[in-house]
Amino acid sequence: MGEEIKVIVFTLGSEEYGIEVDKVQTIERMMPITRVPKTYSFVKGVINLRGVVIPVIDLRGRFSLPEVEPTEQTRIIIVAVNDMQVGFIVDSASDVVDLNSDSIDSPPEVVGGIKAKYLRGVAKLSEERLLVMLNLSEVLNKSEIIQLEGLEE
């Protein structure tokens, strides 16, 4: 038997994605983002959250999905990746589910246009509901992390 893991469910377009709860620090409403020059197009800038400067990434841009205007539902999920905090802009963050790690299958090559290296796998929640699990360390690769760490200073 695999272990039970808690997962935060969020959406980008019509797809549902998951990040393990233990990697998520907080989920915030959309807030003003300070643009930073000379960064990747999907890096929207930085926010000051309770005195901490946090780089913010638009996951739609990261996954080459069409960008959309923020709505009431738009959220910034603050995650900890390799000892740094990063905010991910998502269309909505809906709920928390319990998953058995055995229910996560390895990802197909491309899911919804997103390359498999960004994905940890796909979990089947029910007959109709699949959850795409993100591989956070790949969503931010080493060179991007180095560039983002420069933003924090």
The pTM for the full model equals 0.86
Top pLDDT among 81 and 73 is at 73
Q: In 3D, which of 2, 4, 1, 12 has the Cα closest to residue 134?
A: 12
Least confident span in 66-75, 76-85, 110-119, 134-143: 110-119
Average pLDDT, the chain: 86
Residue 141 has pLDDT above 70, yes or no: no
| Phi-psi region at 57: left, alpha or beta (left = phi > 0; alpha = psi -120 to 50) | beta
Predicted confidence at residue 30, as pLDDT, reads 96
CA distance 75 to 29: 5
Q: What is the mean pLDDT of residues 58-81?
A: 91
Q: What's the pLDDT band for 7 if we cut at 50, 70, 90?
A: very high
**Segments making up each domain of the chain, as ranges:** 4-152
Q: What's the pLDDT band for 145 if we cut at 50, 70, 90?
A: low
Predicted confidence at residue 39, as pLDDT, reads 84
Q: What's the pLDDT band for 152 if we cut at 50, 70, 90?
A: low
pLDDT single digits (tens) 79-116: 987 778 999 999 999 889 999 888 888 876 655 656 66
Predicted confidence at residue 128, as pLDDT, reads 84
Structure tokens that stand for 63 in this block: 């996954």
Q: Tell me the CATH number for domain 4-152.
A: 2.40.50.180
